[in-house]
A and B are shown apart, each in its own frame.
Chain A
Amino acid sequence: MKLTLKIWRQANAKAEGKIVEYPLDGIEEDMSFLEMLDVLNEGLINKGDLPVSFDHDCREGICGSCSLYINGEAHGPDRRVPTCQLHMRMFKDGDTIFIEPFRAKAFPVIKDLVVDRSAFDRIQHAGGFVSVNTSGKPTDANAILIPKHDADRAFDAATCIGCGACVASCKNSSAMLFVSAKVSQYALLPQGKVEAADRVKNMVAQMDAEGFGNCTNTGACEVECPKGISLENIARMNREYLSASLKG
């Protein structure tokens, strides 16, 4: 495949960035998108140019590191996959591909296509956990019976890998799908219910403080989410938040 890549290049957080065009040849359709970028970078390094910086780690759809906005969509044109599982067979010979970093005030660009998503970490720190007193006698998790329906929904919410595609694809840069998934995965389980009220209030407050936008229910986040996190979680978070705030 012969491609024309239009990639956002930015030397550092303070530098001004711009789109730079790179012609690329010899790409196989079985390659992953990141392998295609590896080929590009190899060529750039051989020429003595700076390679394109982009985030990646596991390359098997688990870690949530990869975060590219490809041809106007978070993680590209395929569905239910992050960038690392996007394959070049989704593109045609001769295509022009725009590659940009995830854009949001709360996700500042560090370099090229790498953005700082530590805002998500701070939201997690604000309440995305269950406090457990450690002792010599841990309780068997199986001793607490959980309805299958609740367990499944909690698991579905917990599959969020925190990649930030929801923020990137939302026209408002809202983080509600991410936060609601983290709120839901605990709120649905008995172990998480103890701290549910404080959790949702603190996580929403942190989300707002980070500068994410407001959710207007366009549903783009759900469509672009590589893990298929449902909008149902946002409705649940809204209920949890209102009920927690009204109780004081």
Chain B
Amino acid sequence: MAKSSLLKSSIAKKVAMALSGLFLILFLAQHFFINSTSVFSPDTFNSISHFMGNNPLVQFVIQPILIIGVIFHFIMGIVLDLQNKSARPIKYVKNNGAASSSWASRNMIISGGVVFAFMLLHFYDFWIPEMVYKYVEVNPLDEIRYFGELQHKFVDPTRTAIYCVSFVLLALHLWHGFNSSFQSVGFNNKYSRSLHKLGYAFAIVVPVGFIFIALFHHFNH
């Protein structure tokens, strides 16, 4: 009989993916909240950004956890996808996957890969310049620079388009990922139907909101 090992088990891997995904969903929600203030009040956006960019807890505890979470979720996703592909070495000649499952659920590796590539671009656009500004060049504190930096990034129509397309893929990833995370941690009960609706709403509202913010700054810079 095979020996039971929690950390190597398929269920533990699934739960690890779910927990890291839920953590990233929380991060996404707060990121969306902060970014949405840029549409209504540049001052509020500057204040919150300044706080997030200079609070030691955010900078030296939460930020590294977030980066580890993103890398873990990405690598684990690739490892699981490779394992899953090897579980069917001979493919079907005719397969009708759409008859029983959604495109989003079958192609998480594609939507996730695009979102990860987008995050690299996003890091290149915002995070790396921010780190250079603060810790390499050691510039003096400037509490009102954030809104201008944000607007400046969305001047380029190509970059704005890349952001918008990436958010569509993010929506597809969340469409399956949000509810799948709860199923993976064992949450499937009388509240699941309501939770599914919340998940689908989140998967639409947040990415569409991000697209709106990107277009708003592109057309209002």
A residues apposed to B, CB below 8 Å: 6, 8, 19, 69, 71-73, 77, 98, 100, 103-106, 125-126, 169, 171-174, 176, 201-202, 204-209, 211-220, 223-224, 231-232, 234-239, 241-242, 245-246
Contact = CB atoms under 8 A, between A and B. Distances in A.
A234 B180 CA distance: 12
Nearest to A210: B2
B188 A235 contact: yes
B84 A205 contact: no
Given A173-B87, A235-B188, A238-B14, A216 B105 contact: yes
A98 B11 CA distance: 34
A217 B4 contact: no
Interface of B: 1-6, 8-15, 80, 83-84, 86-97, 99-102, 105-106, 108, 176, 179-180, 183-188
A209 B3 CA distance: 9
Binding site secondary structure of chain B: loop
B50 to A, nearest CB: 40
Contacts of A173: 84, 87-88
27 contacts: A72-B94, A72-B99, A100-B93, A103-B90, A105-B87, A126-B1, A174-B84, A204-B9, A205-B1, A205-B9, A208-B2, A212-B87, A213-B83, A214-B80, A214-B83, A214-B84, A215-B14, A215-B184, A217-B179, A218-B101, A218-B102, A220-B97, A224-B100, A234-B183, A235-B187, A236-B188, A237-B11
Contact of A204 (B10, B87, B180, B187): B10
A103 B88 CA distance: 6
Contacts of A77: 99
B86 A208 contact: no
Contacts of A242: 11, 15, 186
B106 A218 contact: yes
A243 B13 CA distance: 15
Contacts of A220: 97, 100-101
Contact of B93 (A98, A209, A245): A98
B105 A204 contact: no
B83 A223 contact: no
Contacts of A71: 94, 96
A208 B9 contact: yes
Nearest to B96: A72
Given A72-B96, A169-B100, 15 more contacts: A72-B92, A72-B94, A73-B99, A103-B92, A105-B86, A171-B106, A173-B88, A176-B10, A204-B10, A204-B11, A211-B87, A219-B105, A223-B99, A235-B187, A246-B6
A197 to B, nearest CB: 10
B200 to A, nearest CB: 14
B101 A219 contact: yes
Contact of B186 (A100, A125, A172, A236): A236
